[in-house]
Amino acid sequence: MDRITVGLLNTFRKQQSFSEDLKESDLFEHFVNYYVISKEYNYQFGLEEIHVGGSGDKALDGIAIIVNGSLINSKEELEDLQKRNKYLDVEFILIQSKTSSSFDAGEIAKFLLGSTDFFNEESELPANAQIREKSQLMGLIYEKSSLFKNRKPICKLYYVTTGKWFDDKHLKVTIEGLRKRLDDMEIFERVTFNPIDANGIQNLYRLANNKISRQIKFERRATIPKIEDINQAYIAILPASEYLKLITDDDDNLIRGLFYDNVRGFQGENDVNQEIEATIKSDERQFFVLYNNGITIVAEYVDVIGDLITIKDYQIVNGCQTSYILYNSRESIDDSLCIPIKVIALDRDSKLKNNIIKANNRQTPVKLEELEALTDFQKKLEEYYNSIPEEKRLYYERRPRQFNGIDDIEKIIIVDIRSQMRCFASMFLDQAQNAGRYHTRLQEETKEKIFLPSHHPIGYYVSAYAKFCLDALFRKRLIDPKYSPFKYYILNILRIQVSGKIMPDITSNKFIKYCETLEQALWDENQCRDVLLDTINIVDQAVNGDYDRAVAKTVGFSNAINNCFK
């Protein structure tokens, strides 16, 4: 393994709090899984959600299933997305990683054969528990094939070593022959094989840790006169083909994290979106620029030179529906289709950004309180996290990859909104059984109970810090992995064991004191370890010997936990 990759691997071990006795090969599997999936998925995720390596792994080390832009791990998440979107847009990502310094034909063949076996209706190779769970979820997806409205699923295969890829003809023949077996199953839109060598590993690392940057043609534009607090601003008519360069990555994937500051995600095939698509695919596409309200982009850095513009660290704060339809219809786009666009350069901490988001989204029927939840309380929460003493500080990420490019902020201490919602709802709202569901479903279950202006941020921080401490114990192997499906219940058990079953009203001063008791226990390293280890005794009582992941999603198990404290 080359010196640079060794350095990245050691940094990763520290960032993710893996124990020093974890074998290098196992660490490398997690490392590769993390950076491959970070390329494909813009939000935080747990490494245990991806890793499948070990005995009976079909020569696979990682499997990710992304549906409608969300990384899913359960039947319930799939059903939530089905009900919400009325369609399924699916990507399967399969990964094999080797610390060897060469691309071995035999090992590659095992990977491709294992991948084929994974998708076979009658699997022949042994499968461990993690593989079986992924396989069952994959089977459920194909049972819902009538919902593949945009395309069949995509299968992406990543084979990663620390060597160098030379485009060897013999290897390519082997790969293509075995890849074609997957193609011939006729269940995929396309199957891609991606060989990643040492240089590719380093590129993945940089991609995950650097801010997004794009350069496009920007010819038909008007400069907006100087406005206070705005560095630069432009209004332009942009060819849709150029706009697509802003919202897709090098593999032609839609960069879904760019739309995080939109109040609503993509709404699927509603009436308005169907009209947008019909216009794009009709002879009236030249009038699209007149029909559409346009796109608004807010960036930290904009540089215009001649007919080119470079945009860095940007978010698309209005135009999510248009963007998705343009992407899904990109084969029908020609030079006659243009869109109106605004590009605004603001400092990261500018309060004007919130006003721009509100104003742009108020043009559609969105409740003001939804906008407040997206902006004002989130800012307050971020500031609270920043006020915590440095040795106990976590970093609240209001938008994806907010802390990319900041080397001294380890990934493990970053909390995104989805994770925050799950932690708070599990610890304080008795929603542990829903924490593993699609986050929007959890949001519906906790409507008017979370991210409220009357809430003190301490409860949010404490719940996230408890999850951080718990994850560290799992990675140090002080808690058996069989308890992993019950993580969110453990947060609730911890609260009861430390601060008591009777919880004060969340908006009261007594609740702050209640949380401070939790905080004191968590900040004492020895006490924190002891109380978290004690929680698994309650889980043992409630599961009654059945540690299956499905048990953790039932109301019955939640009741069993409560009964342990009577």
Supply the DSSP string of 194-254, one letter for each residue.
EEE-HHHHHHHHHHHHS--EEEEE--SEEEPPP-TT-SEEEEEEEEHHHHHHHHB-TTS-B
Evaluate if residue 111 carries a pLDDT over 80: yes
Quote the pLDDT of residue 369. Answer: 40
The terminus-to-terminus CA distance of the chain in angstroms comes to 55
Question: Could you tell me the pLDDT band of residue 303, with boundaries at 50, 70 and 90?
Answer: very high
Please report the pLDDT score of residue 363 as a whole number: 47
Report whether pLDDT(349) > 60.
Answer: no
Can you tell me the distance from the alpha carbon of 160 to that of 102, in angstroms, rounded to the nearest whole number? 10
Residue 62's pLDDT is what? 97
214 beta partners = 311
Using DSSP, state whether 349 is helix, strand or coil.
Answer: coil
Q: pLDDT for 522-560, tens place per residue?
A: 999 999 999 999 999 999 998 888 888 777 777 778 888
Cα 9 from Cα 306, distance rounded (Å): 42
Residue 406 has pLDDT above 70, yes or no: no
Say if residue 132's pLDDT is above 80. Answer: yes
The mean per-residue pLDDT over the stretch 514-524 comes to: 96
Buried b (16+ CB within 10 A) or exposed e, 378-398: beebbeebeebeeeeebbbbb
Q: Measuring CA to CA, how many Å separate 388 from each of 445, 456, 458?
A: 30, 14, 10
pLDDT confidence bin for 265, thresholds 50/70/90: low
Question: What would the pLDDT profile of 362-404 be if each residue is shown by its tens digit?
Answer: 544 444 444 444 557 888 898 899 999 989 999 998 766 677 6
pLDDT value of residue 206? 82
What letters, b where the CB count within 10 A reaches 16 and e where it falls short, cover 144-162? eeebbebeebbbbbbbbbb
Which backbone phi and psi does 49 adopt, to 5 degrees? -75, -20
Q: Residue ranges per domain, the chain? A: 3-209, 213-366, 371-403+410-563
Q: Which amino acid is at 414?
A: I
Query: DSSP letter at 285?
Result: G
| pLDDT, tens digit (0-9, with 9 covering 90-100), for 201-237 | 998 888 777 778 899 999 999 998 888 778 899 999 9
Question: What pLDDT does 456 receive?
Answer: 94
Q: What share of the chain is helix, strand, coil (3-state, %, to 5)?
A: 50, 15, 35
Share of the chain above pLDDT 70, in %: 90
Query: pLDDT value at position 64?
Result: 97
Q: What is the pLDDT of residues 428-467, one digit of tens each?
A: 998 888 876 656 667 677 777 888 889 999 999 999 999 9
At 434 the pLDDT is 81
- Compute the distance between CA of residue 31 and CA of residue 162 in angstroms, rounded to an integer: 12
Q: What does residue 340 show for φ and ψ, rounded to 5 degrees?
A: -80, 140
What does the block give as tokens for 5? Answer: 């990759």
Inter-helix orientation angle 3-15/24-40, to 10°:
80
Confidence band for 69, pLDDT divided at 50, 70 and 90: confident
Q: What pLDDT is attached to residue 263?
A: 54
The pLDDT of residue 411 is above 70: yes
Cα(39)–Cα(520) distance, rounded to whole angstroms?
Answer: 38
pLDDT tens by residue, 16-31: 878 888 899 999 999 9
- CA–CA separation, 533 vs 494, rounded Å? 10
The CATH-assigned architecture of domain 3-209 is: 3-Layer(aba) Sandwich (3.40)
- Of the candidates 321, 237, 333, the one whose C-alpha atom is nearest the C-alpha of residue 280 is 333
